[in-house]
A and B are shown apart, each in its own frame.
Chain A
Amino acid sequence: MMRRAVLIAVPYFWLMALFLVPFIIVFKVSLSDTALAIPPYVPTLEWRDFRTFLSQLDFENYIWLTQDDLYWKAYLSSLKIAFLSTLMTLAIGYPVAYAMACCPEKWRSTLMMLVILPFWTSFLIRVYAWMGILSNEGFLNQFLLWAGIISTPLTILNTNTAVYIGIVYTYLPFMILPIYATLDRMDASLLEAAEDLGCSRIGAFWLVTVPLSRNGIIAGCFLVFIPALGEFVIPSLLGGSRTLMIGKVLWEEFFNNRDWPVASAVAVVLLLILIIPIMLFQRNQQNQAEAGR
Chain B
Amino acid sequence: MIHPTDELTALLDDALPAAQAEAVRAHLAACPACRAEQARLQGAVALLSALPPAPEPSPFFGARLEARLRAEAAAPRGLRARLAAWRWQVVLPLAGAVAAAGVALAVGLHHPRNPEDGLFAANLELLEDYDTASAVGVDEPEDVLVVAQLDRLERREGRP
A binds B: no
